[in-house]
Chain A
Amino acid sequence: MGKNNLKICSDLEDIMPPEYRELVASATYGKENRGWKDIGSAKELIEEHSLCAGCPEAIAFRYVLASLPNPEDTVMVGSTGCTSLVFPHVAVHNIHSLFGNQNAVASGLKRALKLRFPDREKDVVVLAGDGATVDIGLDMTLQAWFRQEKFTTICFDNELYANTGGQESGLTQKGFVMKMAPQGKQFNKVRMPEIARESGCAYVAILTVSKPNLVERVLKNAVLIARTIGPTYIQIYTPCILEIGKQSMEGLQEMRDAEGPNDRFAFREFITDEAKAFLADMDEKKKAAAAAKIGTAAPAGVK
């Protein structure tokens, strides 16, 4: 489908905002193998927003939106929190759900899209904070996984409630002191990736956004596996620099400091055998297609 559904009627072109015209001219809708490499040269699917200067959630949004395999056929589901300050400025269809309800809304949406567009792949991708995913929405998160709903859940884990000023969440580290948790958290960080695996997710990954190529690989795996096999879960460290007392330029270092081999955001992936076989098969098909291309090109070069 590509850009067909956002083309501008030529008579109205001059009154459209310049950002929209740029989207039509150079955004990567419909591009095969779109990804982080397009950043800086193609129009991104995210406009100016009100996240704090230097917020790693903003970096994460850029990589996620650059890497969605099929943005024109994707619907994202958001929830209340700092991420909800961004969704109104995102050029991918999205729904804002009541705080915590995101995986219930996404379940209904995915099923409805399947009925409405039986012959077209429609991806549903939830993107919500740790409070929404692991505390207030935990019931909805888990029930969607138990029911094997075929969509991706992304948790932007900043280890606290940022949007309401620094309360502890299930994903806060034990002992961590916040403005509104002055004695420090009494309990361990919930082991959400393990819970996701045990609850039926076919693919699970935990990472930071210090490496855009890794975010791209993980996101594509998660979305493609969710299409065909079952629920997938990605947990991404997006430190809230404001609430942990970091300067605006310190977010990247904070992520690097949290992803060493023994740290809580060391990169980890869980994948079922079925999902592994699916990815291997996809790789084979890609290689065969590439080889066929070279094969058809070769005779032309033979003199």
Chain B
Amino acid sequence: MYAVAFVEDEKCIANKGCRLCILYCPEADTLKFDPVKKKAYVVESRCKGCELCVVVCNNAKHNAITMVMR
């Protein structure tokens, strides 16, 4: 089992322009912007579980990302 990041659509405000997790995730093409839903999402197979996205999202008080076991 691995811990990977998970974005809750209801809490994510990427539709208002937030891109913090997408920019600061150390891995390329892992946290992406869904142009249809206008939310951030995680490509789980690429996520290394570092939790930096959780830190940046929480620091901005959005609290939209949690770690889940897969």
Which A residues lie at the B interface, using CB under 8 A? 22, 36, 39-41, 43-44, 46-48, 51, 53-56, 58-59, 61-62, 212, 248-253
- Contact A54 B48, CB 8 Å, known A39-B23, A59-B26: yes
User: Does the CB pair B32–A251 fall under 8 Å?
Assistant: no
Supply 5 further A-B pairs (C-beta < 8 A) apart from A39-B19, A61-B28, A252-B56: A40-B40, A62-B26, A248-B51, A249-B51, A253-B55
With A248-B52, A249-B51 as given contacts, are A36 and B23 in contact (CB-CB < 8 Å)?
yes
A48 partner residues in chain B, CB cutoff 8 A: 27-28, 46
Which residues of chain A come closer than 8 Å to B46, judged between CB atoms?
48
Does A47 lie within 8 Å of B28, measured CB to CB? yes
A47 to B40, CA, bound (A): 19
Q: Give the distance in Å from the alpha carbon of A252 to the alpha carbon of B46 in the complex.
A: 20
Residues from chain B with Cβ under 8 Å of A249 in the complex: 50-52, 54-55
Q: Smallest distance from the beta carbon of B29 to chain A beta carbons, Å?
A: 5
B35 to chain A: closest CB distance in Å? 7
- List chain A residues, Cβ under 8 A from B56: 252
User: How many pairs of residues, A versus B, come closer than 8 Å at their CB atoms?
Assistant: 63
Q: Are B31 and A51 in contact (CB under 8 A)?
A: no
Residues in B lying within 8 Å of A, measured CB to CB: 19, 22-29, 31-33, 35, 40, 46, 48-52, 54-56
Q: Residue on B with the closest CB to A241? A: B50
- A249–B21 Cα gap in the complex (Å)? 12
Contact call A53/B22, Cβ cutoff below 8 A: no
Q: Which residues from A are CB-within-8-Å of B48? A: 53-54, 248
List, in ascending order, chain A residues with CB within 8 A of B32's CB. 40-41
Q: Across the interface, do B27 and A248 meet the contact criterion of CB distance under 8 Å?
A: no
Q: Would A58 and B26 be within 8 Å (CB), given that A48-B46, A249-B50 are in contact?
A: yes
For B40, list chain A residues within 8 Å (CB).
40
Closest chain B CB from A38 CB (angstroms): 11
Give the Cβ gap from A4 to chain B, nearest Cβ, in Å.
23
Task: State in angstroms the CA–CA spacing of A44 and B23 once bound together.
Answer: 12
List, in ascending order, chain A residues with CB within 8 A of B51's CB. 54, 248-249
Chain B residues closer than 8 Å to A54, beta-carbon distance: 26, 48, 50-52
* A-B residue pairs in contact (CB < 8 Å), sample of 9: A22-B29, A39-B19, A40-B22, A40-B40, A56-B26, A58-B26, A62-B28, A248-B49, A248-B50
